[in-house]
């Protein structure tokens, strides 16, 4: 029988998925899937819906085990190589980001995703609630990319992306794109956007008659890829977290130094 460990939340009621995310078990979306699969119980009663709130007086278990205490909020930069899926498991058996991470990291989730062939900066955190917050367009953080495309770039069309564009019925917000270099059939662009929908840059460029053959994320809000080598991680210090996220959001952030870690 599982030990009666109370839920690591304040007395204020919170959604159970949010509590699970804060404990570092998973993202909120993953928590909702776990609940749908019948893996989560509150006070011994298996949940069938995520629309349940809990307090510190409740006992939340996953697969019969009490969820752990909320860990101090931590955040890492990671240089994702191409060829890795940003997922904890892939039905097609392709290698994933999380399989390649060093064992010295705790269980982490990603802030957003980079698709299989994309590379560059990926933020990782042990706090699913923080990941969700940083993913929201309301955060207002700009994602900046270095993009190589095959085709001849029309700079007037690039400029027009600042007004947004609709592709296959999907309306994308403003995109700032600048031509850096055109070399025969290939060109390098710098692209910035705030929303970052699934494969947005690839779809928009294809709509303009351009094929993306390399996509590197250079920055996510105030956090830069910098000189991180492929596969390396660097922890963002508690001081920087407090400066960028606010003292209240990062009040439990660790004060570790950000040393690069090779991921071999």
Check which CATH number belongs to the domain holding 130 and give it: 3.30.70.580
Q: Is residue 42 part of a domain?
A: yes
**Domain identity same for 162 and 102:** no
CB 121 within 8 A of CB 39: no
- Is 115 annotated as catalytic? yes
In Å, how far from its chain's centre is CA 52? 25
Q: How many structural domains are present in the chain? A: 3
CATH of the domain at 44: 3.10.290.10
Q: Is residue 1 part of a domain?
A: no
Query: pTM value?
Result: 0.75
Query: Residue 137 and residue 142: Cα distance in Å, rounded?
Result: 9
Categorize the per-residue pLDDT at 11 as very low, low, confident or very high, splitting at 50, 70 and 90: low
Q: Is 38 exposed, middle or buried (0-12, 13-18, 19+ CB in 10 A)?
A: exposed
**Domain identity same for 54 and 183:** no
Q: Does residue 73 or residue 261 have the better pLDDT? A: 73
The tokens 């460990």 sit on which residue? Answer: 5
Strand segments (E) across the chain: 14-15, 40-42, 45-46, 53-54, 60-62, 65-66, 75-80, 109-110, 119-125, 143-150, 165-167, 170-172, 175-183, 186-193, 211-220, 223-224, 233-236, 260-261
Q: Is residue 6 part of a domain?
A: no
Q: Is it the case that residue 160 has pLDDT exceeding 60?
A: yes
Q: Is it the case that residue 90 has pLDDT exceeding 90?
A: no
Q: Please tell me the predicted confidence (pLDDT) of residue 8.
A: 52
Q: Which domain holds residue 233?
A: 75-138+222-261
CB 168 within 8 A of CB 176: no
**Domain identity same for 146 and 210:** yes
Q: Is it the case that residue 23 has pLDDT exceeding 70?
A: yes
**Domain identity same for 108 and 200:** no
**Domain identity same for 56 and 151:** no
**Domain identity same for 233 and 207:** no
Categorize the per-residue pLDDT at 60 as very low, low, confident or very high, splitting at 50, 70 and 90: very high
Query: Residue 108 and residue 244: Cα distance in Å, rounded?
Result: 20
Q: Are strands 175-183 and 186-193 parallel, antiparallel or unpaired?
A: antiparallel
Q: Which of 115, 127, 154, 180 is catalytic?
A: 115
CATH of the domain at 210: 3.30.70.1560
**Domain identity same for 94 and 79:** yes
């Amino acid at each position: 029988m599982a030990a009666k460990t109370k839920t690591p939340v304040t007395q204020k009621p919170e959604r159970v998925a949010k509590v699970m995310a804060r404990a570092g078990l998973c993202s909120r979306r993953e928590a909702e899937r776990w609940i749908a699969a019948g893996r989560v119980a509150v006070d011994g009663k298996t949940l069938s819906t995520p629309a349940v709130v809990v307090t510190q007086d409740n006992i939340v278990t996953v697969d019969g085990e009490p969820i752990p205490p909320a860990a101090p909020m931590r955040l890492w930069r990671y240089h994702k190589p191409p060829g890795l899926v940003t997922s904890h498991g892939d039905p097609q058996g392709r290698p994933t980001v999380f399989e390649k991470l060093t064992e010295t990291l705790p269980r982490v989730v990603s802030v957003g995703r980079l698709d299989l062939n994309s590379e560059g900066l990926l933020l990782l955190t042990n706090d699913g609630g923080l990941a969700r917050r940083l993913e929201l367009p309301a955060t207002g953080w700009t994602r900046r990319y270095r993009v190589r495309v095959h085709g001849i770039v029309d700079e007037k069309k690039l400029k027009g992306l600042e007004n947004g564009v609709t592709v296959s019925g999907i309306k994308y917000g403003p995109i700032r794109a600048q031509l850096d270099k055109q070399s025969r059939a290939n060109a390098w662009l710098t692209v910035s956007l705030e929303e970052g929908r699934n494969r947005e840059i690839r779809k928009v460029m294809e709509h303009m008659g351009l094929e993306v053959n390399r996509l590197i994320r250079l920055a996510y809000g105030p956090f830069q890829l910098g000189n991180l080598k492929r596969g390396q991680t660097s922890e963002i210090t508690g001081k920087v977290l407090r400066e960028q996220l606010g003292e209240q959001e990062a009040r439990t952030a660790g004060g570790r130094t950000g040393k690069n870690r090779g991921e071999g």
